[in-house]
Each structure stands twice: as structure tokens, then as C-alpha cells.
Amino acid sequence: MTFFDSEDALQTSLNAFLEEHREHLGLVSPDIPLISNLPVWSNIALIRQYHENMPWEEAKALAVELLERFGMAKIVEQRSHSLNKEELFCVMLMRAAMVREAVVVLDRPFRILSNLPEGCFLTDAFHKVDDLIAEAHIFDYNWEKGRYGATDCAKD
Amino acid sequence: MISVMIAAIGNIGRAAMLGTSSLRGTLAFAVRVFLNFFDRRTYNSASLMVFIHQLYFTSVQILPLFLFVAVIFGFLINGMAFNAVKNMDYLGRLLMGFVVTELSPFITVLLIALRSSSAINTEIAVMKVNREMSTLNSFRIDLIHYLFIPRILNGVFSMVLLTSLFALVVLSTGLLVSSLVFGTSVDTYVDTLLRSTDVLDIVILLIKCATFGFFITLIPIRIGLSASEELTSIPISVLNGMVKVFVAIVTIEVLSSIIRFI
């Protein structure tokens, strides 16, 4: 986790980090939305289908398996506009985890999960895909520190 | 008076500059996209899925309306033609030289442009407004490979397939009209059509269809990309795109006619 005092400082550091890890980057950010005309499974599967030419049946099975880990199998065919904030975040995380040896970056996750008081949800979500990701980084503001340190689960 | 004339000439010059710069931009974009047809990375499972969906939206969903229009045109044209022209040879030339090579692609391109070009323009503009292009860039998904080429290939395939279908329906109604009203046999009708068929015309027809399909999908994509990040830019983008598609259709039609008749 890296915290910053200002948006400029965060953005500069984040951009440099993204550029450095471009090859394996899995960015989770409201600035990188889901593709609105694709169902949830396709948003997740797209990365493997494009980069590895994975057949769509196999890619869909992988996406469904990931959604089941999060107990979200019912949203498999839904579009992004019908998802709630938690579902949206989890789908974005699953999509990021689809990158091979993913360096997952959460860019100010509470901009998506604005309704959550603390970061326990984030650590739980990370644990569900930790077999797929190589590194995880969080970029946020200093004044959000409390939301990450407020509970024991943040130590994970 | 002189200052008014100078201003008018200035305006014409500015419009001409704008027009040529837009044309240059479209042609440069067309070349970029065309070169990517030969890039192996274009053809992957994700792009194939987009292509299949687009083909379904463009060529399958339109079929009821398309067949209805083709049958109506078939009966109208054949009814008028058979009524006005009694000479079978001339009739064959009329059907093959005008209906198949000119009318079929024109009606088809109008229907596809009205339906799919506007949809593609809107879709790309909405993606731009929603910043979904950044998503694709972030995951190193090439826009040309994933978004543009499947749509453009679909345009090319749909134009060729639907034009062939239109021509087939019109010629079949022609057979029906000729045999029911004039008692012409199937053999005579087919023989007349075959004698009136010029292979070069068919080749030009296919090239024209492919060119139509290429540009009526490429232009909406390019114009859709020019949308800003404001919602209000979407209708403006679609309006501009559709006008440019119309200009492209007329230009290709005129050029193909010139090539055919020289």
C-alpha cells in the first residue's frame, strides 16, 4: 500500500508504476471501467481470449469458476450497469487477475466501494484470487489510511 | 462588396481545406486498418467472437425486413420491366446490367448503412464517452485488432452476402412473374440471364460491395472515435458519421459506374 497527500503526487507515482509494469498490469480503477456492451463473463474472459487466443468456451468456464469463488455466479450474463458496487469491484478484480503473472493495482478502491467503511472487503477479495496474481499494490490518499488499518484483516 | 467576396472565397477555401483534410484522415485510417488485416494478432478468439456477433446483428437480424424489401422490389421491377420490354434479350440485360449490378448493392448498402453504420457509430462514441477505450489500452488490447477489424470485416462480408441474396430474390421473383404472366419457361429465363451475364460486371460488383462494406463501417468507427468525453457529443458524432457515410456511398457508386462504362 502506498499513500499520498495529494492527487497530483498519487497520479504521478501511479502513472510511473503503470508504465513500469505495463506488460503484466491488471489495473482496478473506476477510470478503467468494464466494457458496457459485454456481459460480465466476457469482460473477465476477454483478456485471455485476446492475449492467449483461449477458446471462448474455456475462457467462459474460467470466468464462471472465478465468479463462483466470489459467490457471484448469478451475475455471469449481466451487464455492468446492473451490478452493485461490490459486484463491480469484484468483477474488475477478476478481470485484472486474468492477466498472466498479474501485477494487480488498486487505484483508490474506495472510489468504487464508496459505501464501505473499511478495507476488510478488499483483503477478502484479494484472498479469493491470490493464486492468480503475482503482486498486489494499492494506491490511495493518506486520509484513507484509517479505512485500511481500522480492522485486523487489513494486516493480511 | 469586395470584402464580402473575399469572405465568401475564404469560406469556400476553408470548407475545401476541411473536406480534403477529412478525406486524407479517412484514407490514412483506411490504410492503417487495411494493413492490420494481414497482422496475425488480429485473428484471435476475442476478435472472432466480436465478428460473429456483428455478423449476426448486421446480416441475420435484418433478414425479415431485407427479404420483404427484396420481394417488393422484385415484383415491382419485374412487373414494370416485363410490361415495358417484350424482347427477352433486352430484358436479360436489364435484369443483369441494372438490377443485379446496380440496384441490388445500392438498396443493400442503404439498408446496412441505416441500420448498422449508425449503430456502430453510436457504439464507438459511447465507448469513447465511457472511457472504455482506456480499458482496452490498459489491458494492451489493440483497438484496431479487437474493435475495428471485426466490424469492418463484417461490413465487407455482409455487403457481399446480402447483395447476392437481394439479387437472388429479385431474379427469383422475375422467374415467377415471367412464368406466371408471360408463360416463359425456366430454361429460357435462366438462359437469357446467363447470356446477359458479363463476368467483368460481376467482378466489379463484388469489388464494389466489398468497398461499400469497408467504408460504411470504417467511417462510423472513425467519426465515433472523434467524439469527446461528453454525452452531448454522441448525437453530433452520429450525425456527422451518417452524412459522411452517405457521401462515401455516392462517391463509390459514381466511381464504380465510371469504371464499368469506360
Most B CBs within 10 Å, among A43, A44, A49, A52, to test the B interface: A49
Q: How far away is chain A from the Cα of B48, in angstroms, using its nearest Cα?
A: 9
pLDDT tens digit sequence for B174-228? 888 888 877 878 888 888 888 888 888 889 899 999 999 999 999 999 999 988 8
Task: For the beta carbon of residue A94, count every other beta carbon within 10 angstroms.
Answer: 29
Q: For A38-64, what is the mean pLDDT?
A: 94
Residue B22: predicted pLDDT: 82
C-beta of residue A142 within 8 angstroms of C-beta of residue A132: no
Most A CBs within 10 Å, among B42, B130, B135, to test the A interface: B135
Residue tagged 456483428 (cell numbers): B54
Residue A82: predicted pLDDT: 93
Three-state secondary structure call for residue B230: coil
- Cell readout for A58 is 474455456
pLDDT surpasses 60 at A152 = no
> Hey, are the CB atoms on A32 and B134 less than 8 Å from each other?
yes
Q: For B57-65, what is the mean pLDDT?
A: 93
Please tell me the least confidently modeled range out of A45-59, B51-65, B84-98, B200-214: B84-98
pLDDT surpasses 60 at B238 = yes
Contacting residues of B for A49, CB less than 8 Å apart: 44-46, 49
pLDDT surpasses 70 at A123 = yes
Q: Residue A10 CA to chain centroid, in angstroms?
A: 18
pLDDT tens digit sequence for A2-11? 887 888 888 8
- CB proximity B126 to A under 8 Å: yes
Give burial (CB, 10 Å; 0-12/13-18/19+) of A104: buried
C-beta of residue B248 within 8 angstroms of C-beta of residue B216: yes
What is the band of A142 on the pLDDT scale with cuts at 50, 70, 90? Answer: confident
What is the band of A151 on the pLDDT scale with cuts at 50, 70, 90? Answer: very low
Residue B94: predicted pLDDT: 83
> Hey, are the CB atoms on A53 and B135 less than 8 Å from each other?
no
Residue B69: predicted pLDDT: 92
| Cα separation, A89 vs A57, whole angstroms | 24
pLDDT tens digit sequence for B126-169? 999 999 999 999 999 999 999 999 999 999 999 999 999 999 99
Nearest Cα to A2, choosing from A88, A90, A109, A95?
A: A109
Contacting residues of B for A80, CB less than 8 Å apart: none
Residue A154: predicted pLDDT: 42
The residue in chain B having the minimum alpha-carbon distance to the alpha carbon of residue A102 is B139
| Cα separation, B6 vs B173, whole angstroms | 58
Amino acid (one-letter) located at A86: E
Residue B195: predicted pLDDT: 86
| Three-state SS letters, A65-111 | HHHHHCCCHHHCCCCHHHCCHHHHHHHHHHHHHCCCCEEEEEECHHH
- Cell readout for A83 is 451490478
Task: For the beta carbon of residue B176, count every other beta carbon within 10 angstroms.
Answer: 15
Contacting residues of A for B134, CB less than 8 Å apart: 31-32
Please tell me the least confidently modeled range out of B81-85, B102-106, B135-139: B81-85
pLDDT surpasses 50 at B93 = yes
Measure CB to CB from residue A36 to each of B130, B134, B141 and give the nearest one.
B130
Nearest Cα to B168, choosing from B240, B217, B96, B97?
A: B96
Q: For A51-68, what is the mean pLDDT?
A: 93
Three-state secondary structure call for residue B9: helix
Nearest Cα to B82, choosing from B158, B12, B184?
A: B184
Q: How is domain A2-155 classified at the architecture level of CATH?
A: 3-Layer(aba) Sandwich (3.40)
Contacting residues of B for A27, CB less than 8 Å apart: 138
Give me the residue spans of the domains in chain A. Answer: 2-155
User: Residue A137 belongs to what H/E stretch?
Assistant: strand A133-141
Q: For A78-102, what is the mean pLDDT?
A: 92
pLDDT tens digit sequence for B2-40? 888 888 888 888 888 777 888 888 899 999 999 999 988
CA distances in angstroms from B56 to A79, A103, B5, B16, B50, listed in the order given? 20, 37, 53, 39, 10
DSSP codes joined into one string, B89-149:
HHHHHHIIIIIIIIIHHHHHHHHHIIIIIHHHHHHHHHHHHTTHHHHHHHTT--HIIIIIH
Q: For B229-252, what is the mean pLDDT?
A: 91
Amino acid (one-letter) located at B6: I
End-to-end, the C-alpha distance of chain A in Å comes to 12
pLDDT surpasses 80 at A156 = no
For A135, phi then psi, to 5°, come to -140, 150
- Cell readout for B252 is 463509390
Give burial (CB, 10 Å; 0-12/13-18/19+) of A55: middle
